[in-house]
Chain A
């Protein structure tokens, strides 16, 4: 199974991954549409650990996958090439059950298109990985 792995100690919170993700998938720079999410916590204290400051959240491409299991249309399937989970746009009806079910809050509902969006590993060469200036993201096959 291939998935994105993030290193929160190295991440410096630039959000270039969010920008490039939305640009690649939606054709515009718009972090609210990104399928990767960086959480920034600068209100730190003496007990804050280095991995709690800039925290990347990525799709875990779970196996078994709660999103695929709950989908009433069987619209979320494992891609044979990337081994990631893909949304079949023509079968998804945008009911949003998977959005609720995802334990990592990594699926977005696109109300306009009546579909959901999630990380598709860019078809095998994720742009967030290649653009990350800190090498805080990698694609791992385990």
Chain B
């Protein structure tokens, strides 16, 4: 029995260098101070990863973590966290995925997995009913994510697996991990870290249940929660359109990126809207485990050159980056591109971001056919998009140049191309142009992961405040970031907003565990501890930046025409909300308030000066 209900109470630690596994307990302090998931990751990464460690070396660890509510029937509780030091950014990163893997990890008897070291040949990790084994993966190496998953499913009936594809093996710096036929913890290059460790997959299987302290009251709480989802007015549209409903909204508001965030209008973007997506592609609505809102769309390309392509998606961000950002207006091409990214195991956001960048370089003559291996890398060229993805997936030709993201490529290419490498800390922007949604600019700048929208998306809030004003944006960003620390630590999907809010999520957490949580304090603690991890790696205010285009090139058209992001003003108002100093470093007062006093000593030993 775990020390706190809801948790398995056990974390599996595997060392691939030593070929050993061991089980460590989840302590009561850890549970109550960090909840789970992202919270656990923030604590463990700060404690365990030596500053300056090579993200692709044996000293980096991979953290795969659930929270106390996973494995229960709490609506939207399908998610798990993958965290590591990102090879793309050099910062802390965390990414989440849905599907069924999270619950199955709990049923296998573990709250999480930490993988250390580096194997001398391909291996996979198998967890089954409380025990674990490192197994040979020679027969899996080279396989796509899908084939790896199918092979492992046949080998161990009833199992679920997390896998990497060929791109992860090749250490493409934005390789992702995948589970459940195309669900992905996409951002930050987690798949490259697995690849560097020669860890092809993690398989989980088991029949251990999750219980709660009071059956009757919990059943009542579940009834209330499900009723709240069912009566939420936004649900039917969300189910019908999935995340693609945001394509139309952001296109009309001039937010969706067009031709590498040029800010131009894309003729024909309407061909990517939900109605056409549904009509041409969607075969079936699919849910993650324990989720009452099936936003997932199982799609099949029925005609044309890509007929027979099967995938879960494409989703909004993918359509924005692989579609509009590359000037592509054919949803079937986007579907094919998405499917290829999934099979190779790369992040669709980063892939669309870097290809958009390369297309702009090509159009400007900075890259030529000589550089691209003959690919005619113009905006809107469907074939070129597919060829470029193949090249990145295999890390060959121009794919090798692009396999580190736009910012790295710009440093190689030169010629001021860095001005339109649309990233922060090396992580490419998601499908929101910050000039047309300035709060998102502050999210990109201050996210502990580099420009990751999912650390506190602002579109809903900014529609109310005004898209281009700085007014109240630091406060919105601060609030959203804290809220997402709670979501990511429970671990629950952000779409739980369809029926639940932070207060009901907290009520659920306390019903599962039977414990009281200081949620406000915990979420702020997690965010500042992640910041300290990055401060220790040398990151500060000057890295909380946006590319030249976002700051100095006025939007050429659209509802926010003429706007740029006035970032410094936002940062000046944001840091004090966090009690960070004007260089973006948490103050001593901040750390004391968050019960992070040991870190004060730790940082001063490293010669990092903290303001009072």
Contact = CB atoms under 8 A, between A and B. Distances in A.
Interface of A: 12-16, 19-20, 22-24, 26-33, 42-46, 48, 50, 53-54, 131, 133-134
A46 B209 contact: no
Contacts of B300: 44, 46, 48
Given A14-B291, A14-B294, A33 B209 contact: yes
Interface string B288-299: 111111101010
Interface stretch (B39-47, B278-286, B572-580): B278-286
Contacts of B75: 16
Contact of B73 (A29, A33, A44, A54): A29
Interface string B101-115: 000000100000000
Nearest to B210: A29
Nearest to A21: B73
A20 B222 CA distance: 10
B290 A13 contact: no
Contacts of A27: 211, 215
Nearest to A26: B209
A30 B215 CA distance: 14
B211 A54 contact: no
Interface in B207-235: 207-211, 215, 219, 222, 226, 229-230
B283 A53 contact: yes
Contacts of B222: 20, 131
A46 B158 CA distance: 26
Contact of B294 (A12, A31, A32, A50): A12
B532 to A, nearest CB: 36
A29 B298 contact: no
A26 B208 CA distance: 12
A16 B288 CA distance: 10
Contacts of A28: 209-211
A44 B72 CA distance: 28
A130 to B, nearest CB: 8
B312 interface: yes
Given A12-B294, A42-B298, A23 B283 contact: no
13 contacts: A12-B294, A12-B296, A13-B294, A22-B209, A23-B219, A29-B73, A42-B181, A42-B286, A43-B150, A44-B283, A50-B284, A54-B284, A133-B292
Contact of B289 (A14, A22, A33): A14
Given A32-B207, A133-B230, A133-B293, A50 B287 contact: no
B211 A29 contact: yes
B133 to A, nearest CB: 21
Contacts of B211: 27-29
B294 A15 contact: no
A46 B302 CA distance: 7
A74 B582 CA distance: 78
Given A30-B107, A43-B150, A131-B226, A50 B283 contact: yes
B298 A44 contact: yes
Nearest to A133: B292
B107 A19 contact: no
Nearest to B291: A14
B308 interface: yes
B310 interface: yes
Q: Ordered nearest first, which 3 A-B pairs have the shortest CB separation?
A: A30-B209, A133-B292, A28-B209
Contacts of A24: 219
Nearest to B180: A42
A20 B344 CA distance: 37
Interface in B377-436: none
Nearest to A127: B219
